Amino acid sequence: MSNAPFTFSLIIPAYNQRARSARAATTARDFLRTRFGEAAELIVVDDGSAAGQALEPGDVPEGAILIRHGQNLGKGGAVRSGVARASGGYIVFTDSDLPFSLEPLTTTLDWLRDGADIVIGDRLHPESVAAIEVTPVRQLSSVIYTWTVNRLLGLPYPDIQCGYKGYRAAVAKELFALLEVTSFAFEAEILVRARKAGYRIRQQPLRLVHDEDSSVRLSRHAPRMLADVLRIAWRARRGVYERRG
């Protein structure tokens, strides 16, 4: 990892939330500089936002990289573009509204250095803390979605959809280069591929600081997400995700 230009890269995918995403980018840049100096790289990916909502170069802080998609590819497509561009030895992504405290980044990086290939945030972890109240409807819909995905794909994770994950760079670049599902269900495909490849995955407690305007609304996205999960399950049963060579 010593040959990487940066210790790690933080990716923030954004869509149709220009003001919020711009504030988040500035907050993230300030945190990274304070905590990591020049060792961290910040990448913001605007995923084909509508006119007036698309991020412009002046919306992100100096030193940050802005990638802009000409059309909406989905959150998975946005993260994939960020991963391809990242030059850090480790790669972390989080949601555009920074719903989680960035303080756990230090632990994430320590775990990746100590042998984990992937670190996934877990809002249901006994040590996770919610500084705000999450509505029962949101909690229930998330639990139902995760239970369904785990049953269909044979995964053991209580919080698949958590928008905070870290990777060794080589692992992220391998997995995202193969990614086929670019909707919100992309994380399920990544985890299936990771387990098939035998990668070491750790689950990390987080501190949820707000949950105001998540771009994922299961009531609206559920049909597409379920269709994508069924597609992943079908391909997994056909051995498509088995590691070759």
pLDDT at 176: 98
What does the pLDDT average to over 87-110?
Answer: 96
Please give the residue that has the higher pLDDT: either 62 or 6.
62
| pLDDT above 70 for 131 | no
Q: Is the whole model's pTM more than 0.75, yes or no? A: yes
pLDDT at 126: 86
What does the pLDDT average to over 15-40?
Answer: 96
**What pLDDT digit, counting tens, does each position of 138-167 carry?**
777 778 888 999 999 999 999 998 999 999
Domain chopping of the chain, boundaries: 6-237
pLDDT at 144: 87
pLDDT at 1: 46
pLDDT at 212: 53
Q: What topology does CATH give the domain 6-237? A: Spore Coat Polysaccharide Biosynthesis Protein SpsA; Chain A (3.90.550)
pLDDT band at 36; cut points 50, 70, 90: very high
Task: State percent of the chain over pLDDT 70.
Answer: 92
pLDDT at 214: 52
| pLDDT above 80 for 130 | no
Cα–Cα distance measured from residue 185 to residue 146, given in angstroms and rounded to the nearest whole number? 11
**What pLDDT digit, counting tens, does each position of 75-91 carry?**
999 999 999 999 999 99
Instruction: Judge contact between 218 and 143, C-beta under 8 A.
Output: no
| pLDDT above 60 for 218 | no
pLDDT band at 243; cut points 50, 70, 90: confident
pLDDT band at 134; cut points 50, 70, 90: low
